[in-house]
A and B are shown apart, each in its own frame.
Chain A
Amino acid sequence: MNAETKIERKAKKLGLKERYGHLTRGLGWETSYQPMDKVFPFASYEGIKIHDWDAFEDPFRLTMDAYWKYQAEKERKLYAVIDSFAQNNGQMKITDARYVNALKIFLTGVSPLEYMAHRGYAHVGRHFVGAGPRVACQMQAIDELRHAQTQMHTISHYNKYFDGLHDPRHMFDRVWYLSVPKSFFEDAMTAGPFEFLTAISFSFEYVLTNLLFVPFMSGAAYNGDMATVTFGFSAQSDESRHMTLGLEIIKFMLEQDADNVPIVQRWIDKWFWRGYRLLSIVAMMMDYMLPKRVMSWAEAWGIYFEEAGGALFEDLSRYGITTPKYADVASKEKDRLTHEVWSTFYNYTRAAAFHTWIPNDDELAWLSEKYPETFDQLYRPRYEHWRSLQQKGERFYNNSLPQLCNVCQIPMVFTEPDDPTKLCLRSTEFEGEKYHFCSDGCKDIFEFEPQKYVQSWLPVHQIFQGNCGGATMPEVLDWYGIKNGSDNLDYEGSPDQTIWNDWTKSAQRAAG
């Protein structure tokens, strides 16, 4: 039957790439009355040599028309889910109100980064000479703005019932632990365009992205938060383009000139370490804050960095690129990282915009099982001690302010790579001042560009300098926008717990 419909092959069709080439032809231009380097002042100072901008493959290959249509339908679907989640009181069907604390971290620590990414891509897109990376960055800038917005809309529903979600932008600019993500992104945005893409598109969106999104989105799925899961799907369909941009820009730099290789290597080393330190809080969330856990941080690090990253760096070694410096330290830390970080927040619960708690017996057992080499030996005794103090009405609070690492801005709570019982402290002198670091990784970063990091806005220093509302805890909390007694402290006894218990009781009554 098909024989008669068979037609002679017509002239060869153009491939999508060729068609796109014709469509975008002439988007770049050579300047006429101003020299190119005046119009593109940031394109060369980083030392990256580009000989042929057209060799950059635009991984997006999207037209604005298709982009709007596509994103509009995605948003319609997402907002339909958000509406039905609200109408059906989806917040009552999550596993446990403690889960909402993961969302608080996401909304205050991650969503503002999406907005910074929007600004960063818009900025660097302007500064690339080639039309390929320019268009890619501009499209991604729009994606990131959408992500920030849809995240806030998705999570804002929880703000009607739970504390700590009322002003993520304000908190992001002020709260001590949120200076970790903020300073990370500001570091990238104040670098040149090529370093920015290495930092965000490659190291963050490609190498480390699964360690950020899997914990939050799978965590949402495991804990009954369908609105956030839907947001995750909506964003994931953009992420492939973002990841591809990360790979393409790295290949482009490495292939354009041999002199680019050592520069790219240094950026990969730096941004691996910065990204890894940034993930500390996500790691902690995975192991301690999800009532129903997805996998342990150590397992996630093994799968997503050691295996997947291992394959990537094996391939990159063909360009002469080596595994990021201090990746071995990250692997040594994987069995202790989350315990050290959660303990820190337990210490400083008064100044956190989310709740803390001592893991219950089942959770302690899970941690023992997931961390057989370290948990019972080093961390369980500490938690049991704190629990007994708490039961005696002597809950432990750390009333001093911690010393912060001058680069990652995390309190100096990490331990020596080869000795988890000894604090890891590093320092260096610059222009007569002493600067402190949590690790060799952060120290190296400082020493390469000290002029940049002496400007760090370190929250503890700022409090001592009187720039954070005052010298007392209530004054600083007020300046942070943290409401004492409801946004902070333990989950036990919080308004979050009260409302959740009321819902649970009324559900039981209704069930008879």
Chain B
Amino acid sequence: MTYELTIEPLGETIAIEDGQTILDACLRNGIYLPYQCNHGLCSTCKLSVIDGEVEHGDASPFALMDYEREEGRALACCATAQSDLTIEADVEVDPDALHLQVQDVVGTIVRFEKLTPDILGVWLEIPGDGLPFQAGQYVNVDIPGCSEPRSFSIASSPANPKVIELHVRKVPGGVGTEWIHKNAALGLELRVTGPLGRFFVRASSKDPIIFLAGGSGLSSPKSMTLDLLDREWSGPITLIHGVRTAEDLYFADDFRQLAIKHNNFRYIPVLSQAAADGLWDGTTGFVHEAAEAIFEGSFKGHKAYLCGPPPMIDACIRSLMKGRLFEKDIFTETFSTKSDGENLAKSPLFKKI
């Protein structure tokens, strides 16, 4: 049995399975609720049930008192749904979140193109009104032969929800991405679920924007940049894209053109393994090193959006924090592959980075 779980004050609705805890359902849907012990003792995850019935599970009688149960309080880490639910949790409303509905659609490949030796661009046409999304979000794609879907960020502008552009990096030994590289063909249909994720531009803030992209992590920043420029967002925007060699760069000319056209946009491609042939006269090194050099080590007052593989994200967070930019102004989308496996143990020091 699946119920609907609505989380206030976000106003988001997600599915919750029979026996699944509210906390688990939220975390799996990208909604962070504060929690600590995860087994009903510490009461950090206490919330209010506004509508519906819950089963309190193993909530400790000291962490959730009788009078609180009567008042409709529950512990997210123990409570399971007995009906559709509306809860109010201690989460912050993000004025920039669009909370678009997640859809299951079938997309048809209308164009595909090798962008670099290991990245395939795939354009999917979505029937009807398309798949409205917020720039930065991703979709899950079902791939034949894979039990779990693979996630890809949408690289195109949200101005056209009828065709979405995905960048598929061939992960060595990766069953899913290799299948797409091998089988991509015009007319091929793929089941797509989305839009997903909470990686989007906090455009209501006027703080200058820094996009830090690594490899195929250019996808979200590309969509976000196009969207901002379309909407004539007037603050300074810096996009730093790091790749290994010159042949790994893609859409570089498009970004150079945009930088010429828009005074507030600059584009810095960075090569970590530039060939010794002297042809590359641009920046070399890693993304975080380029960022430190460009901003002279000081990031205070900016908003930074990071998209790429885990080591690049971590290195960039360290540089940003060294330059006095902290969690509240740093937004990340980590591209991990199946082989990255379990994340290293985390402390509760940071919630989202």
Mostly helix, strand, loop or mixed at chain B's interface? loop
> How many B residues, CB 8 Å from partner?
37
Name which of B38-46, B140-148, B209-217 contacts chain A.
B38-46
Which residue of A has the minimal Cβ distance to B326? Answer: A255
> B42 is contacted by which of A16, A239, A258 (Cβ under 8 Å)?
A239
Which residue of B has the minimal Cβ distance to A320? Answer: B322
> B91 is contacted by which of A9, A15, A311, A317 (Cβ under 8 Å)?
A15
Which residue of A has the minimal Cβ distance to B35? Answer: A240
Q: Are B42 and A240 in contact (CB under 8 A)?
A: yes
Q: Are B93 and A308 in contact (CB under 8 A)?
A: no
Q: Are B321 and A13 in contact (CB under 8 A)?
A: no
Chain A 7-23: CB-based contact to B (< 8 A → 1; otherwise 0): 00100111111100000
Is B11 an interface residue, CB under 8 A from the partner? yes
Q: Are A233 and B65 in contact (CB under 8 A)?
A: no
Name which of A70-78, A178-186, A421-429 contacts chain B.
A70-78
Which residue of A has the minimal Cβ distance to B65? Answer: A73
Question: Which residues of B are found within 8 Å of A161, using beta-carbon distances?
Answer: none
Q: Are B347 and A16 in contact (CB under 8 A)?
A: no
Is B36 an interface residue, CB under 8 A from the partner? yes
Given known contacts A69-B67, A237-B43, A240-B43, A16 and B345 CB-to-CB distance under 8 angstroms: no
**B43, B67, B88 pick with most chain A CB within 10 angstroms:** B43
Q: How far is the CB of A300 from chain B (nearest CB, A)?
A: 17
Given known contacts A310-B345, A311-B347, A315-B349, A74 and B90 CB-to-CB distance under 8 angstroms: no
Is A61 an interface residue, CB under 8 A from the partner? yes
* Interface residue ranges of A14-66 to B (CB < 8 Å): 14-18, 61
Question: Which residues of A are found within 8 Å of B279, using beta-carbon distances?
Answer: none
**B63, B318, B322, B347 pick with most chain A CB within 10 angstroms:** B347
Q: How far is the CB of A57 from chain B (nearest CB, A)?
A: 10
Q: How far is the CB of B326 from chain A (nearest CB, A)?
A: 5
A135 to B44, CA, bound (A): 18
Question: Which residues of A are found within 8 Å of B42, using beta-carbon distances?
Answer: 236-237, 239-240
Which residue of B has the minimal Cβ distance to A315? Answer: B349
Chain B 1-28: CB-based contact to A (< 8 A → 1; otherwise 0): 0000000110100000000000000000
Q: Are B90 and A314 in contact (CB under 8 A)?
A: no
Q: Are A13 and B8 in contact (CB under 8 A)?
A: yes
Q: Are A2 and B84 in contact (CB under 8 A)?
A: yes
Q: How far is the CB of B4 from chain A (nearest CB, A)?
A: 9
Question: Which residues of B are found within 8 Å of A343, using beta-carbon distances?
Answer: none
Chain A 243-263: CB-based contact to B (< 8 A → 1; otherwise 0): 110010001000100100000
Question: Which residues of A are found within 8 Å of B61, using beta-carbon distances?
Answer: 77
Q: Are A318 and B321 in contact (CB under 8 A)?
A: yes
Is B66 an interface residue, CB under 8 A from the partner? yes
Q: Are A240 and B65 in contact (CB under 8 A)?
A: no
Question: Which residues of B are found within 8 Å of A92, using beta-carbon distances?
Answer: none
> B66 is contacted by which of A15, A73, A317 (Cβ under 8 Å)?
A73
Given known contacts A2-B84, A307-B345, A237 and B63 CB-to-CB distance under 8 angstroms: yes
Chain B 48-68: CB-based contact to A (< 8 A → 1; otherwise 0): 000000000000111101111
Which residue of A has the minimal Cβ distance to B323? Answer: A258
Q: Are B345 and A15 in contact (CB under 8 A)?
A: no
Is A503 an interface residue, CB under 8 A from the partner? no
Q: Are B62 and A236 in contact (CB under 8 A)?
A: yes
Is A214 an interface residue, CB under 8 A from the partner? no
Given known contacts A16-B88, A320-B322, A70 and B68 CB-to-CB distance under 8 angstroms: yes
Question: Which residues of B are found within 8 Å of A12, using beta-carbon distances?
Answer: 9, 11, 93
A25 to B61, CA, bound (A): 33
Is A265 an interface residue, CB under 8 A from the partner? no
Q: Are A70 and B324 in contact (CB under 8 A)?
A: no
Is B344 an interface residue, CB under 8 A from the partner? yes
Q: Are B65 and A17 in contact (CB under 8 A)?
A: no
Q: Are B322 and A13 in contact (CB under 8 A)?
A: no
Given known contacts A2-B84, A13-B88, A15-B93, A236 and B67 CB-to-CB distance under 8 angstroms: no
Is A312 an interface residue, CB under 8 A from the partner? yes
Q: How far is the CB of B198 from chain A (nearest CB, A)?
A: 15
A258 to B323, CA, bound (A): 9
Q: Are A315 and B347 in contact (CB under 8 A)?
A: yes
Question: Which residues of A are found within 8 Å of B341, using beta-carbon distances?
Answer: none
Question: Which residues of B are found within 8 Å of A236, using beta-carbon distances?
Answer: 41-42, 62-63
Which residue of A has the minimal Cβ distance to B64? Answer: A237
Is A397 an interface residue, CB under 8 A from the partner? no
Mostly helix, strand, loop or mixed at chain A's interface? helix
> B348 is contacted by which of A74, A247, A258 (Cβ under 8 Å)?
A247
Q: How far is the CB of B40 from chain A (nearest CB, A)?
A: 10
Chain A 73-107: CB-based contact to B (< 8 A → 1; otherwise 0): 11001000000000000000000000000000000
Question: Which residues of B are found within 8 Å of A240, using beta-carbon distances?
Answer: 36-37, 42-44
Is A364 an interface residue, CB under 8 A from the partner? no
Is A234 an interface residue, CB under 8 A from the partner? yes
Which residue of A has the minimal Cβ distance to B321? Answer: A318
> B62 is contacted by which of A2, A16, A74 (Cβ under 8 Å)?
A74
Given known contacts A12-B9, A14-B9, A318 and B41 CB-to-CB distance under 8 angstroms: no
Question: Which residues of B are found within 8 Å of A69, using beta-carbon distances?
Answer: 65, 67
Question: Which residues of B are found within 8 Å of A396, using beta-carbon distances?
Answer: none
Question: Which residues of B are found within 8 Å of A320, using beta-carbon distances?
Answer: 322
Which residue of A has the minimal Cβ distance to B93? Answer: A15
Q: How far is the CB of A240 from chain B (nearest CB, A)?
A: 4
A239 to B91, CA, bound (A): 21
Which residue of B has the minimal Cβ distance to A257? Answer: B324
Is A319 an interface residue, CB under 8 A from the partner? yes
Is A316 an interface residue, CB under 8 A from the partner? yes
Q: How far is the CB of A374 from chain B (nearest CB, A)?
A: 28
Question: Which residues of A are found within 8 Å of B350, using beta-carbon distances?
Answer: 315
Question: Which residues of B are found within 8 Å of A234, using beta-carbon distances?
Answer: 62
Is B237 an interface residue, CB under 8 A from the partner? no
Question: Which residues of B are found within 8 Å of A9, using beta-carbon distances?
Answer: 11
Q: How far is the CB of B301 from chain A (nearest CB, A)?
A: 13
Given known contacts A12-B9, A247-B348, A258 and B93 CB-to-CB distance under 8 angstroms: no
Question: Which residues of B are found within 8 Å of A73, using beta-carbon distances?
Answer: 65-67
A174 to B350, CA, bound (A): 43
Q: Are B9 and A318 in contact (CB under 8 A)?
A: no
Q: Are B345 and A316 in contact (CB under 8 A)?
A: no
Question: Which residues of B are found within 8 Å of A18, using beta-carbon distances?
Answer: 93
Q: How far is the CB of B183 from chain A (nearest CB, A)?
A: 41
Q: Are B317 and A318 in contact (CB under 8 A)?
A: yes
Q: Are B347 and A233 in contact (CB under 8 A)?
A: no
Q: How far is the CB of B151 from chain A (nearest CB, A)?
A: 25
Q: Are B65 and A70 in contact (CB under 8 A)?
A: yes
**Chain B residues at the A interface, C-beta cutoff of 8 Å:** 8-9, 11, 36-37, 41-44, 60-63, 65-68, 84, 88-93, 317-318, 321-322, 324, 326, 344-350
3 interchain residue pairs of minimum CB distance: A240-B42, A312-B347, A311-B345
**Chain A residues at the B interface, C-beta cutoff of 8 Å:** 2, 9, 12-18, 61, 69-70, 73-74, 77, 233-234, 236-237, 239-240, 243-244, 247, 251, 255, 258, 307-308, 310-312, 314-320
19 extra interface residue pairs, beta carbon distance < 8 Å, beyond A17-B92, A240-B44: A12-B11, A13-B8, A13-B88, A16-B9, A69-B65, A73-B66, A233-B60, A237-B41, A237-B42, A243-B36, A244-B36, A244-B44, A251-B349, A255-B324, A258-B324, A308-B347, A314-B344, A319-B321, A320-B322
28 residue pairs from A and B, CB less than 8 Å apart: A12-B11, A12-B93, A13-B9, A13-B88, A15-B9, A15-B91, A15-B92, A16-B88, A17-B90, A77-B62, A236-B62, A237-B63, A240-B36, A240-B42, A240-B43, A240-B44, A243-B36, A244-B44, A247-B348, A251-B326, A308-B345, A311-B345, A311-B346, A312-B347, A314-B344, A314-B347, A315-B347, A318-B317
